[in-house]
Amino acid sequence: MNPILFGILVVITTSLMGSSFAVGKMGLTYFSPLLLVGLRFTLAGLLMAIWVWKKPLPKSLQDWGRVGLIGFLQTAAVMGCIFLSLRTITAGESSILTFMNPLLVVIWGTLFLGITYRFAQWAGVLIGLFGVFITLGFHLQWESGTLFGIGSAVSWSIATVLIKKWGVRFNVWVMTAYQMLFGGILLLLMGVTLETPKLIITSTSIIIVLWLAIMASIVQFATWFFLLNQGDPGRTSAFLFLAPFFGVLSGWVLLGEVVKWHVYVGGLLIFVGIFLVNWTFAPSRGLQQSKGESA
């Protein structure tokens, strides 16, 4: 894939990921947390399902089960854990835990896909993770929400590996549509059973839901899934370290949050980590085998 196009798509998807934290925080004025993400992904899934109805659908019940499992992990579990974690820890701390995902993807890729990573790549992942920690303020407290934050990272990393293994079975747009729809419906059920629903309809709240559903869900997920299928998931997932950096910047723009010096230091370490993961990358024999097995 053309490196310039790859870079543009990475910036688009990670900036949308990061900005969704700030936009979502704005939305909590009008919606309860799980109801907000349930509406977001159900609407996104319905819109995409209408758009892709002529494209080839999964051919077996087993394949529908695979899409449903990805939807549970990638959408319902990740977003549910994130918003439940925000009840007891800050958005920054939740982001730190969620974006441990690239480190976990490298671990799962090594254990289950037979991918070999070099020392510099492991170092790049750790440096990038440390950069996220610095960007978001040098602190992380242990609360009950910490477990939910870790749960979001584990769910996301497992979904990433499954998308890499199973993604070739599906049209990327069909998989994006139905995993969001399945996950969104689960989140709506969680929203009416695990919390007291809050719903305030205004022009602002409608715009927030539409932005989250279309730009931060449809565009973001489709781009992300497309990138995952272009190469090694550990290499691609290293770019997720950009998302919390964009999250801090969007908080500054949209919410007036102060950007302190440690954001710039952390941002530099994030870029160094991404460079190390990608600069020394070479596909291993195990990766080639995993591609053949997943077909």
250 against 238, higher pLDDT: 250
Neighbours of 3 (CB within 10 A): 8
Which of 96-100, 101-105, 176-180, 221-225 has the highest average model confidence (pLDDT)? 176-180
Write down the mean pLDDT value for the chain.
81
CA neighbor of 38 nearest in space, from 204, 230, 235, 195: 195
Distance CA 18, CA 129 (A): 15
The whole-angstrom separation of Cα 201 and Cα 24 is 15
Identify whether the C-beta of residue 100 lies closer than 8 Å to the C-beta of residue 244. no
Give the whole-number percent of the chain exceeding pLDDT 70.
85
**pLDDT band for position 196 (cuts 50, 70, 90):** confident
pTM of the model: 0.74
pLDDT at 281 > cutoff 60: no
Whether the Cβ atoms of residue 281 and residue 139 lie closer than 8 Å to each other: no
Q: Which carries the bigger pLDDT value, residue 136 or residue 268? A: 268
DSSP bridge partners of 199: 31
pLDDT of residue 82: 82
Distance of alpha carbon 106 from alpha carbon 275, whole angstroms:
15
Could you read off the pLDDT of 3-19 as tens digits, one per residue?
888 889 989 998 998 88
Q: For residue 223, what are the domain limits?
A: 3-294
Q: What is the C-alpha radius of gyration for the chain, rounded to an integer number of angstroms?
A: 18
Selection from 84, 178, 95, 91 nearest residue 132 by Cα? 95
| Residue 139 clears pLDDT 70, i.e. is over it | no
Handedness of CA 236, 179, 186, 26 (dihedral sign): positive
pLDDT at 213: 93
Strand ranges for the chain from DSSP E: none
CB-based contacts of 237, cutoff 8 Å, min separation 6: 101, 102, 105, 106, 157, 160, 228
Least confident of 154-158, 216-220, 276-280: 276-280
Structure confidence by residue, pLDDT tens digits, 86-126? 777 766 667 777 777 777 777 887 887 777 778 888 888 88
Of 116-125, 170-179, 203-212, 218-227, where does mean pLDDT reach its minimum? 116-125
**What single letter denotes the amino acid at residue 210?**
L
How many domains is the chain built from? 1
**What's the pLDDT at 293?**
39
**Is a pLDDT exceeding 50 seen at residue 73?**
yes
pLDDT at 6: 87
CA distance 280 to 220: 27
| Cβ atoms 20, 212 nearer than 8 A | yes
Mean pLDDT of 190-216: 92
